[in-house]
Chain A
Amino acid sequence: ETAVFQTPNYHVTQVGNEVSFNCKQTLGHDTMYWYKQDSKKLLKIMFSYNNKQLIVNETVPRRFSPQSSDKAHLNLRIKSVEPEDSAVYLCASNWGGSYEQYFGPGTRLTVL
């Protein structure tokens, strides 16, 4: 099956903990993204990454960092979570020359 896969589906943690979310795409794409979706469904881009370049949305706090081992994987690490980090984190991918993006199912983070 070719798609974008994310793990875990859900994660509940305490303030100050470190969390890491995984994303893998089997579509052969060369560009991957992380979005944050809040409770009002608003989608905010956090990072885009291909083999050559990481582009960071300047509004993303420094405690967030993407980690990539190859073009099929882009993980997201949050060093010390805060209550406002509670959201759904969506991973997406595409060909750099195309604008259509393919999304994973998301990871729902709840920070207590």
Chain B
Amino acid sequence: SQWGEENLQALSIQEGEDVTMNCSYKTYTTVVHWYRQDSGRGPALIILIRSNEREKRSGRLRATLDTSSQSSSLSITAAQCEDTAVYFCATENTGGADRLTFGKGTQLIIQP
């Protein structure tokens, strides 16, 4: 899970396997963003899920959101080497500088 005091999580899987990354958040939100950061680049939004969706799919990506448990997950089906990146979940906030609060990230490594 991406929240709390844990360090950057690392997951290493073989190409072709499925993987799920979890995110639990502390403050109420109706939208969870998932960003991907490739080495040497800034994060980029890959999927966004709202509270009325429970599940959202985009290609090989699947995001879920459970507002009652304040948790979200991102699954990648049949992972490929190019999926290697750091994945962040982020929740929307109102007010303050932090319009988005980012989780600590999961380093995903896909082994050929």
Contact = CB atoms under 8 A, between A and B. Distances in A.
Given A104-B42, A105-B41, A57 B98 contact: yes
Contacts of B105: 41-43
Contact of B98 (A45, A90, A102): A45
Contacts of A46: 97
A101 to B, nearest CB: 6
Contacts of A101: 43, 45, 99-100
Contacts of A4: 42
Contacts of A21: none
A85 B23 CA distance: 28
B104 A92 contact: no
A48 B96 CA distance: 8
Nearest to B99: A99
Secondary structure type dominating chain A contacts? strand
A32 to B, nearest CB: 11
Contact of A56 (B43, B45, B97, B107): B97
Interface size class of A (residues with CB under 8 A): 20 to 34
Interface string B17-39: 00000000000000101000100
B83 interface: no
Contacts, number: 64
Contact of B42 (A31, A90, A100): A90
Contacts of B40: 105-106
Contacts of B44: 102-103
Contacts of B78: none
Interface of B: 7-8, 31, 33, 37, 40-45, 48, 86, 88, 92, 96-100, 102, 104-105, 107
Given A101-B45, A103-B43, 12 more contacts: A42-B105, A43-B43, A45-B97, A90-B43, A92-B42, A99-B33, A100-B48, A102-B44, A103-B41, A103-B42, A105-B41, A106-B42
19 contacts: A33-B99, A40-B7, A40-B8, A42-B8, A42-B102, A57-B97, A91-B42, A94-B99, A99-B31, A99-B33, A99-B99, A99-B100, A100-B33, A100-B45, A101-B43, A101-B45, A103-B42, A103-B43, A106-B42
